[in-house]
Each structure stands twice: as structure tokens, then as C-alpha cells.
Structure 1
Amino acid sequence: MKSGTRPVKGTRKMIANMTPVLQPGTYVFCTMLNTEDATAAATLALATFAEDEGMSLVLEKSEADRLGLSYGEKMRRITLMVYSSVSGVGLTAAVAGELARHRIPANVVAATQHDHVFVPKKHADRALDALRVLQARARDGQDEFTDAD
């Protein structure tokens, strides 16, 4: 991130500037119970989260296969390129809501610089199109989003 870059906070501004990008690769969500194994696997993970049931990991499918881990749906990752404020309101809700209208499941992971939307591989192109349309509507002022900043 460039020095001096400030996070975007307003709902319409976040959506209008989100610029969704479909990332290469296929990802899976896994859970590991063994702490020692999970710690080693975490170094390969895109994201981790410690839950009561074990360590949840987001891994490239090839890494999960190599480690012999079980997983469910194969996912693609769409990165929202806007640097959204952690105190910004509405981006996650707008993205999840738009994808829900298209009957596309989504798992949104917020990181420090960007939000990442994981969608089933078979719906990735439709999801990307839906998010681009949402962004265009926000840019054109054709949607219900208002800025509270």
C-alpha cells in the first residue's frame, strides 16, 4: 500500500471503487484438529482462523490434496481492490446481498487491505459479473447506497 493512502469508508464509495478481480487458483476450506499439524499447515494457508472445533484453513486445493486434507466445495477468490476501512459500513452486506440475489453462495474474508470473496468455482464468472454490475450501479448513483462518512 502506498504511503499516505487512506482507507475508503463511505458505503457508496467502497462499492463504487471495489474493482472485483478474479484471482487465479482454486481454494478449499479445511479444519485441522491436531495443533502441531495445523501450525505447520498454517504456513501454507492463505488464511487461518482458530475456532473451538480446530484450526480452519483456506488453502490452495493442490496444497490440501498434498497434505491429504478433506474439504468440501472448490472455491475461487474474488479480491475487492478497494482499500476499505475496517470501520466502513455496508460493503460486506452489499456484496453478499448482491450475490444472494443471484443465488451464489459467498464467504467473505476481510483482511487489512482488501476484502476477499470466496465463491463456488462453478459460479465464479457469474459472481464476478454480478459484482461488476453492482460497482457500476454505485458509480452511477443508481442504487440505494448512501455515504455516512
Structure 2
Amino acid sequence: MPKTISDTRAMIAAMAPELVPGTWHFCACDARREAAFLPRALATFREKEGVSMILDAAAANALGAPMDQPMRQITLNVNSALDGIGLTAAVAQALTEKAIPCNVVAALRHDHVFVPADMAETALRTLQALSATAKWTKP
């Protein structure tokens, strides 16, 4: 496993954002149906109100979940440390400046930024520019 990076500037410079094919939907799933949809979920989270899942359109449709906001996934291909500070804030700030909403899911090896499908290309270019700027900024 590659070494984790915790320095803010280094994480941003190395993030190598990648737009992942496909669209995703954030959905609620009741406990009775959770087992049926778990294998199809990209990610899940247990909240006090129930289980939230990130599903593709076919699974969300089968669940009967509302599909009013298709999202695209941008993976930040930096192996950021769990205790790294500032990557999420920098990403959110850059997207905020372009009026692009985002939901960030942090996993063990990478962070994954979900943005509205119709804004995905602009979001990707924004994050690429942020990374390029960090590469040329002195520590």
C-alpha cells in the first residue's frame, strides 16, 4: 500500500481527480429491505433514521427510492491519511466558488466526491485546476 499523505498542500497536489463512469443516487432503505440491496450498494451508512445507500439507477428504481438528483462520482486518487487536515475543506471551497454542491465520502484509501451529474465536468475541471495550483505553490 502506498504511503499515506497528510500534508495539506501535498494531498491537494497529488489528488489526481478522476470522474468515474455512471450515475449514483443517495437513497434511504428500511431494515426489512437492506439485505436485498446491500450487494448492489456502492456505499452504505447507518444513520439514526435508518440506512442510507448509494445506488445506481436500476437499484434505486427497484427500491422505489426517489431519483430526482443523479450524482456523479469523482475519486481523489491520493492516498490521504485519515488524520490529514484540509483536503476536504479545500475541495468543498473550490466547488463552492463555482456553486457546485458536493457530498464527500471518505474511505480508507481515497475520498470520493459526489456532485450533481449535470455539473460533473465543471467539477472535475475545478478540482484539476486546484490540484495544479497546489503543485506550483511553494510549501
2:81 pairs with 85, 95, 105, which one? 85
Question: Given that residues 61 and 67 in structure 2 are in contact (C-alpha distance below 8 angstroms), is that contact kept between their aligned partners in structure 1?
Answer: no
Q: Which residue of 2 aligns with 1:17?
A: 14
Q: Which residue of 1 aligns with 2:27?
A: 30
Within 1, Cα distance between the matches of 2:118 and 2:66? 19
* Structure 1 residue 42, shift from structure 2 partner: 1.7
* Structure 1 residue 43, shift from structure 2 partner: 1.7
Q: Which residue of 1 aligns with 2:48?
A: 52
Segment drifting more, 107-116 vs 58-67 = 58-67
Moved over 4 A (4+): none
2:95 pairs with 95, 99, 118, which one? 99
Unaligned runs of 5+ in 1: none
* Structure 1 residue 18, shift from structure 2 partner: 0.1
Question: Given that residues 31 and 57 in structure 1 are in contact (C-alpha distance below 8 angstroms), is that contact kept between their aligned partners in structure 2?
Answer: yes
Within 2, Cα distance between the matches of 1:82 and 1:114? 6
Within 2, Cα distance between the matches of 1:72 and 1:83? 32
* TM norm structure 1: 0.89
* TM norm structure 2: 0.95
Alignment size in residue pairs: 139
* Structure 1 residue 135, shift from structure 2 partner: 0.2
Unaligned runs of 5+ in 2: none
Whether 1:130 aligns to 2:126 is: yes
Counterpart of 1:11, as a letter, is T
* Structure 1 residue 66, shift from structure 2 partner: 2.8
* Structure 1 residue 87, shift from structure 2 partner: 0.3
User: The residue matched to 1:43 in structure 2 has which SS?
Assistant: helix
Whether 1:42 aligns to 2:38 is: yes
Within 2, Cα distance between the matches of 1:73 and 1:15? 28
* Structure 1 residue 48, shift from structure 2 partner: 0.4
User: The residue matched to 1:108 in structure 2 has which SS?
Assistant: strand
CA RMSD of aligned residues (A): 1.3
Whether 1:115 aligns to 2:111 is: yes
